[in-house]
Structure 1
Amino acid sequence: MNYRKSFWLMWAMCVAGLLLLYLFVAVGHIAIAYAGVLCMLAGLGQTVKFFRCPYCGKLWRLRGGIPKECPYCGEKIR
């Protein structure tokens, strides 16, 4: 998986997790809350693994989007 897919998957998983947490508030089943938290943690976990510079391999900051150049090695990101 590349860094772009990883970034968008992180946001999709966090939104899905939040929707599950809202559903928990409406319905009240604790299993839905656990699924929402697990969904959000899975999204963040894959981001830590894959949201890295393709040149130096260092993890980028999760806030701020995809950088135009790596803050660590200075290479331009296409």
Structure 2
Amino acid sequence: MDYNKSYLVISVGLWTGIVVGIIGALIEIGLIVYISIILMLGSLVQAFIFYKCPNCKKPFNIRGKKPKYCPECGCALE
């Protein structure tokens, strides 16, 4: 998986987990809340594994926008 797909997976996974968690909390179904936590943790884990520079393999900061250049090696990203 490349960094673009990883960024998409973390964005969708975190937002879906938040929405599902809020809905589960509002209707008071604990299983849905646990599923949303697992969904969010899974998206974070894959980000730590795959969200990195394709050139130097240094991880990107997941708290922000997708970079246009690698902060470590300066490689131009798509």
What SS does the aligned partner of 2:60 have?
coil
- Give the ranges of 4+ consecutive aligned residues of structure 1 lying more than 3 Å apart after TM superposition: none
- Structure 2 residue aligned with 1:71: 71
Structure 2: give runs of 5+ residues left out of the alignment.
none
Does residue 38 in structure 1 map to residue 38 in structure 2? yes
TM-score of the aligned structures, taking structure 1 as reference length: 0.92
Moved more, 66-75 or 47-56: 66-75
| Identical-pair percentage | 31
2:76 & 2:49 partners in 1: Cα distance?
A: 21
Question: What TM-score results when the alignment is normalised by the length of structure 2?
Answer: 0.92
Q: Distance in 1 between matches of 2:7 and 2:38?
A: 18
The one-letter code of the counterpart of 1:46 is Q
Which residue pairs with 1:15 in the alignment?
15
Q: Which residue of the partner structure matches residue 5 of structure 1?
A: 5
Unaligned 5+ residue runs, structure 1? none
Aligned pair count reads 78
Aligned CA-pair RMSD: 1.0
In the alignment, the residues of structure 1 paired with residue 6 and residue 47 of structure 2 have an alpha-carbon distance, to the nearest angstrom, of: 6
Match for residue 52 of structure 1? 52
**Aligned-residue offset at 1:63:** 2.0
